[in-house]
Structure 1
């Protein structure tokens, strides 16, 4: 059995050094993964940046977004670059992207995006990012994990 642990992103006022220490302790205690969640309308830190900090503080624990509201990332090339950069920082096989269209309208209101188009936006983002990671569009860096993060 593998057990992951969420980073304390929903706790108001959590600072970088606290997240890094939490990540190190989770790895020392043999948790399988560190998990960062995503909400735009809450005070939750941005998950890719949070996991980059965790990657720098740890050596091998899996890094997971649960769940990244992917349609809020409206530029697929920029999202592909950000995720590939994190993949390179973390090392092969560590980054696992859990994505979803999001179920809360307040996140879409805060972003100025159409809540009703989120499913189509997710499909498009996933298709474009996969194409970029296959080398079909010149956006770098390439992920270090073959085919891109899981």
Structure 2
């Protein structure tokens, strides 16, 4: 049995220096993975920053977002960020994606709460394109180093479309920060 633990990145007003210390202690204690929770409009540490800090502070523990709000990011920037975290960690990242439901998390101009399903579907194409070394930004250069792998993806959500995304793109389902009995029926 594998047992993971959450990184306290979204504990209100967390001291950011706790993140690498927590990660190192979790690895030393024998946990199999460390997971984050994503929010923008909350006084915590961004999940990508927490994962990068954990990658730098550990050597073998798995890293996971559970869930990262993909649609609040411009797709090429998130793809590059995730590829870098995966690379720095030596291929230990698994990313759990959600589309988000809280309007206050959508802070980037042009990335509001309308059309989230269509947006994540386009974004997934962008992630794969970037992770497989295709040129980015209309130029000739790829956005990530040669040898970058496609980061394994999990999907959260309760809509049939989220299950379809999981079947097409993913390696599994992530229940996010929900009690087991809440997601049990989906398994």
Report the TM range for the smaller structure's normalisation.
0.7 to 0.9
- The aligned counterpart of 1:101 is 99
**Kept in 2: contact 1:34–1:61 (CA 8 A):** yes
What's the counterpart of residue 53 of structure 2? Answer: 53
SS in 1 for 2:94: strand
Correspondence 1:19-34 to 2 at 5 A: 19-34=19-34
Q: Which has the larger radius of gyration?
A: 2
Q: 1:72 to 1:96 in 2, by over 3 A?
A: same
Deviations 1:42-101 (A, max 9, x none): 112111111111111111100101111001112x22222111111111002x10010111
Output the CA distance in 1 between the equivalents of 2:16 and 2:88.
Answer: 17
1:143 shift after superposition: 5.7
When normalised by structure 2's length, the TM-score is: 0.71
Contact 1:132-1:139 within 8 A present in 2 as well: yes
CA distance in 2, matches of 1:97, 1:33: 12
Structure 1 residue 111: Cα displacement: 3.8
Secondary structure in 2 aligned to 1:88? Answer: helix
* Counterparts of 2:143 and 2:8, CA distance in 1: 32
More relative contact order, 1 or 2 (CA 8 Å, 6+ apart):
1
Name the CA shift for 1:40/1:16 in 2 (closer, same or farther; >3 Å).
closer
- What stretches of structure 1 move > 2 A for 4+ residues in a row? 10-17, 110-114, 141-144
Q: Would you say the 8 A contact 2:5–2:31 is kept in 1?
A: yes
Question: 1:82-93 maps to which residues of 2 (within 5 A)?
Answer: 82-92=81-91
Give the length in aligned residue pairs. 145
Q: CA RMSD in A?
A: 1.6
Structure 2 unpaired stretches of 5+: 136-141, 153-187
Q: Which residue does the alignment assign to 1:65? A: 65
Deviations 1:9-49 (A, max 9, x none): 22233233311111111111111110111011111211111
Q: Which segments of 5 or more consecutive residues in structure 1 lack a partner in the other structure?
A: none
Partner of 1:127: 125
Q: Distance in 2 between matches of 1:81 and 1:143?
A: 13
Q: What TM-score does the superposition give when structure 1 sets the normalisation length?
A: 0.88
Contact conserved, 1:69 with 1:99, CA < 8 A, in 2? yes
